[in-house]
Structures are given as C-alpha cells and as structure tokens.
Amino acid sequence: MKFQNVHIIDDTLDALANLVVENGLIQEIEILDGRPDPAQPVLLPAFTDLHAHFRDPGFTYKEDVVSGSRAAVRGGYTAVNLMPNTLPVVSSVAQAREVEDRIAALNIIHANQVVSMTLNEQGQDCSHLRSIPAGTIPFVSDDGKGVNRDDVMEEIFNICKEKDFLIMAHEEDARYSPQDLRMAENAMTFRDLKLCEKTGGSIHFCHVSTIEAITAIAEAKAKGLRVSCEVCPHHIYFNAEQANYYRVAPPFRKDEDIEALIKGMQDGTVDAISTDHAPHTPEDKANGANGISGIETAFALCYTKLVRGGHLTLNQLVKLMSTTPSAMMRLNKGAFKVGMKADFVKVDLNEPYIIRAEEFASRGKNTPFEGQQVWGNVLETIREGQTVYQA
Ligand code: DOR
C-alpha cells in the first residue's frame, strides 16, 4: 500500500513524503522536495492514550469495549491504557488479559488494561502485586482514588521497583478532598515525591493540574528522580469559571495553573497528554459523578489551544500525544520510522467545527465543551495500514 505525496508531521519531521506500508508496518519513507500545500490534510502518527476509562466490565451502561474502541479511533487514537476502576476492579493479570483479549478480538485498537495497585482499589493491601511476575505488566494504578496510607504506598514503590511496574498515581489525599481539592492534590504529590526519593523507585503522575504540583515535579526531575507526568486537554483549555465548575477530578483550576502546565509542556516537564476519558450517563453526572468524555475532543482542544494559540509546535504536540506515550506503553508506533507500525491519523487543520456531544461514538456524552468552535478535525484513523475510522 502506498501513501503518495502526503504531508507527514511527527515529533521531528514536517515534510512531503511517499510512504510504503506492508504487513501493517512502514516499509519505506521517501522525503520529497517541495513544500506541503497548507490546504491539504496532514498525516500524524496515530495517538496513544495513557489514561482512559472504558467501564467494562460492570459499568457498560456508561461505555463498553466496543463503544470505547469506536470513540478512540474517532478521536485519532489506536492505542489506549485502561484504568482498573471497573466492577469488579481489575486486580489480577487474568482479569486484565480478559479485557485486553476482548478488545483485541474487535480489531479496532490496541489496549493495555492496568492492574490496580491495591487490592480492589481499597487502599489497604498491595500483596497481590507480589504474585505478579516481574516485567509482565507495564503499569499499576488506583486511578480515581489516592492511596492514603503512607506505609502501603511505600510498599507499592518497593514492589514496583523490584518488578519494573510503573506506578500511575491519582494524587488526591482524601482527608482534604471535602474542603480543599488543591491541598488534596498537592499534599499527596509532595508525599509521593518524597517516597520516590526514599525508595529509589519511579512514578508517573496522572492528570497533574496545579502549579504547585507541576513545579515540584519539575524540581524532582531536575534532581534526577525517576518521575514522569501527564496533563489532560480539559485542564489546559478552560479555567474553573469557563468550565462552569463542571465536575472532574482533579477539578478545573485557575489561569496561573494553566500557564504553569503549558510551560511544563514547553520545557519537557510534561511527558504526555492523556485524556482521562471518563464517560458517564446524564443521571450519574446529575448525581455528582466526576469526569469528561474526552477521547473524541482531545486532539482538537489541544491543537486549538496549544498550537493555534502559539504555545507549542505541532511537532511538540505529536510528541506529547503519540511519540512519548507510545514509548511508555512499549509500543512500536508514534513516529514516521521504517519498521514502525503504520498507525496514522489524518487531520484537517483548516476548517473549524463545533463540538457536538450527540455526534460522539462514546456512550458518554458528558462534556463541558459542547458548542465550542475548534480546529483539528480527525478525518481518518489508520491502524497497521487499515482504515479503522473515516469521518
Ligand atoms: O474525573 C474523573 N473521573 N477523574 C478520575 O480520576 C476518575 C474518573 C472516573 O473514573 O470517572
């Protein structure tokens, strides 16, 4: 299969090219002379989401593996990392493989199912991690909740260091949540940076949202601690007022937080942009559920705010949404390189469009971005050379 005269952009390239794809892999890349026509769509490496909720098993009325996979490709994603706060909670490798196998059978996207870092996300017991062979799972997480007990968290750091599992931490100290969600995120982030240093372990901070947390993470990186972090599109697009205090955890913040997160993207403190795709029904939202159905709006929100807004180049955005998260998931994708998977997304950067939740493939229509005008429409998503979504 050939892609002729296409405008390819990845973390480093921005060129006209001919691509040859065979057996789902990029076989040849011929860079052409001449300037790409800015009216033409661009081809990017398909996105990888380090942080999504497909709600399957247990909450399939909100989302299931089919609707979640279709939503992913509609958003330009061909790989997702699924959080374990399902029913039952995913606390074993067997449960994780079961979800992964059902998604693989659909042949739409690749999925890794994360295993919880405490048993059933109850925050008390991490002994189940001891029985998982080293290196067999990339990540553990209790996403949706913080692990409040310091002793349990320290043990998780130690086990994960020995086994080469990466902690994906939801930083929220429940003691502060009722009255101060900024304190809740900051306090647990600071504790985990201390534990990271003490144990010599490593940690990935999920959905970082405060200036204090991102500053502390930058300092820790400068000291050489093994830390990484992600930021979500919604947290950089709207402040709390603009979002009309839409419920999400962590919450929408202030302009100074947004500025600090963007600076973190510019200077390399932020490793990845993750969606925290969190589909809910209108009833569950009305009853206070936190979350945004975000996987179908992620690229357009980021392109509009960050690239059109003059904060990042498209190369930098591709690095955050594709190259680095793919590498963190140990996937052979995320750039235009011979031998890498032919996972591409074709996007239109010229015509604005209006976000309409009723058009989402996700079962979750919960978004504070209804009616927003954005740029960066996903026209087509290609996985291993096959079209898996077309607008
Ligand atoms: O807003 C959120 N929703 N944040 C989380 O951490 C969990 C997620 C969910 O599962 O609904």
Pocket of ligand 1 (CB under 6 A): 53, 85, 143-144, 170, 248-249, 276, 278, 290-291
Mutate to test the pocket of ligand 1, among 248, 285, 287 (most ligand atoms within 8 A of CB): 248
Distance CA 300, CA 347 (A): 9
Instruction: Give dist(CA 227, CA 217) in Å, integer.
Output: 7
- pLDDT category at 106 given cuts 50, 70, 90 is very high
pLDDT (average), residues 225-235:
98
pTM of the entire predicted model: 0.98
pLDDT of residue 112: 98
Looking at the DSSP bridge assignments, the partners of residue 52 are: 82, 277
For residues 171 and 249, what is the distance between their CA atoms, to the nearest angstrom? Answer: 10
pLDDT band at 346, cuts 50/70/90? very high
Taking Cα atoms as reference points, which of 263, 277, 273 lies closest to residue 366? Answer: 277
pLDDT more than 90, % of the chain: 99
CB 75 within 8 A of CB 107: no
Task: Please tell me the predicted confidence (pLDDT) of residue 219.
Answer: 98
Give residue for tokens 């240093």: 197
Place 379 in a pLDDT band, splitting at 50, 70 and 90. very high
What is the residue with the minimal CA distance to atom 5 of ligand 1?
144
Report the pLDDT averaged over residues 82-103.
98
* Predicted confidence (pLDDT) per residue in 237-266, tens digit: 999 999 999 999 999 999 999 999 999 999
User: Residue 104's pLDDT is what?
Assistant: 98
* Measured distance CA(29)–CA(200) in Å, rounded: 41
Confidence (pLDDT) at 256: 98
Phi, psi of 257 (to 5 degrees): -70, -45
pLDDT at 147: 98
Q: What is the pLDDT of residue 372?
A: 98
How much of the chain, in percent, has pLDDT values that exceed 70? 100
What is the distance between the alpha carbons of residues 302 and 128, in angstroms, rounded to a whole number? 38
Q: What local confidence, expressed as pLDDT, does residue 142 receive? A: 98
Contact assessment for residue 198 and residue 225, using Cβ atoms and an 8 Å cutoff? no
CB 123 within 8 Å of CB 148: yes
Give pLDDT, residue 40: 96
Q: Which among 241, 365, 252, 355 is positioned nearest to 298, based on CA atoms?
A: 355
Distance (angstroms) between ligand 1 centre and the Cα of 247 equals 9
- What would the two tokens of residue 212 be? 């204090």
| Domain assignments of the chain as residue spans, ordered by start | 47-334
Output the CA 152–ligand 1 centroid distance in Å: 22
- What's the pLDDT at 358? 98
Q: Please tell me the residue having the least CA distance from ligand 1 atom 1.
A: 291
Q: Which atom of ligand 1 is nearest to the CA of 145?
A: 6
Q: Is 203 left (phi over 0), alpha (psi -120 to 50) or beta?
A: beta
Going by pLDDT thresholds of 50, 70 and 90, the confidence category of residue 184 is very high
Q: Which residues are catalytic?
A: 276
Superfamily of domain 47-334: Metal-dependent hydrolases (3.20.20.140)
**pLDDT score for 388:** 98
- Which residues are registered as beta bridge partners of 277? 52, 292
Q: What is the overall mean pLDDT for the chain?
A: 98
Write down the pLDDT at residue 229. Answer: 99
CB atoms within 10 A of CB 80: 31
The pLDDT of 32-42, averaged and rounded, is 94
Cα(17) to ligand 1 centroid in Å equals 40
Note the pLDDT of residue 207: 98
Query: Residues 119-128: what's their mean pLDDT?
Result: 98
Q: Which atom of ligand 1 is nearest to the CA of 290?
A: 1
- Closest atom of ligand 1 to CA, residue 292: 1
